[in-house]
Structure 1
Amino acid sequence: MALLSPWRLLRRLKSRVWATKRIARALKLFFPMTRDVIRGDFRPIPWSAFGMMALALAYLVMPFDLVPDFLMLIGVIDDVLIVGWLLNRIDQRLEEYRIWKNNDPDMMFS
């Protein structure tokens, strides 16, 4: 196995940090977006984001996984990877909401 150059290692580390930030941003925006959709303030409704969030929650609570949770570390890593991947995709679906929220006049002065 060849060693990674410092530049390739740094690029991989940056991509993982960026993915973590996207996951946090998706969780931070999803619940206010849900509130704005329910109140009718935000249209169009991002159904794919709602579907992916439901899938992520279902994967977390279902007793059947790709790797069973009783295999302590490997089972938990499997959950983290799949749910993290779904949250990363949710963040992509929330781009329209992010733009709408940044242009909201009520949010400009708060």
Structure 2
Amino acid sequence: MIRLGGWTLIQRLRNHSRVLARIGRSLRLFGPMTLDVLRGRYRPVPWPAFLWMLAALAYLVSPLDLIPDMLLLLGLADDVVVVGWLLTRVDSSLADYRAWRARQDGVAPR
């Protein structure tokens, strides 16, 4: 096995796949959750999820970055890392909504 700083390459890929899965899950659930909140079907309003998503969107459109986008590869990489981290926070904030939705659908929560 290939070792990188005490981690095998496979372990690193597994960690990244979990993070990517959380990001995808947050993006898939945020729209339906917003509709359920607006229609009054889901309460309490998950304000942290809205704030984390707002922060992610603001970071994407803001001209202020940790690393300027003029440094093409590094500038884009910092956007991906920061927005990805913010979207994992969105996913964490949606845990109660996921459980509620699973009860509505009659399936076990993930």
Once the two structures are TM-superposed, the CA of residue 72 in structure 1 deviates from its matched residue by 0.5
Q: TM-score, normalised by structure 1?
A: 0.88
SS of 1:103's partner is helix
**Where do 4+ consecutive residues of structure 1 move more than 4 Å?**
none
* Secondary structure of the structure 2 residue equivalent to 1:67: coil
Partner of 2:18: 18
Between 1 and 2, higher relative CO (CA 8 Å, sep ≥ 6) is seen in: 1
Once the two structures are aligned, what percentage of the paired residues are identical?
51
For 1:98, the equivalent position in structure 2 comes to: 98
User: Please, which runs of 5 or more residues in structure 2 have no aligned partner?
Assistant: none
Matched residue count: 105
What letter matches 1:85 in structure 2? W
Measured at CA, do residues 5 and 62 of structure 1 come closer, stay the same or move farther in structure 2, by a change above 3 Å? Answer: closer
Give the direction of change, closer, same or farther, for the CA distance of 1:76–1:4 in structure 2 (3 Å limit): closer
Q: CA deviation at 1:5?
A: 8.5
1:1-110 → structure 2 map (5 Å cutoff): 3-4=3-4, 8-104=8-104, 107-108=105-106
Gaps of 5+ in 1: none
Q: CA RMSD in A?
A: 1.9
TM-score (norm: length of structure 2): 0.88
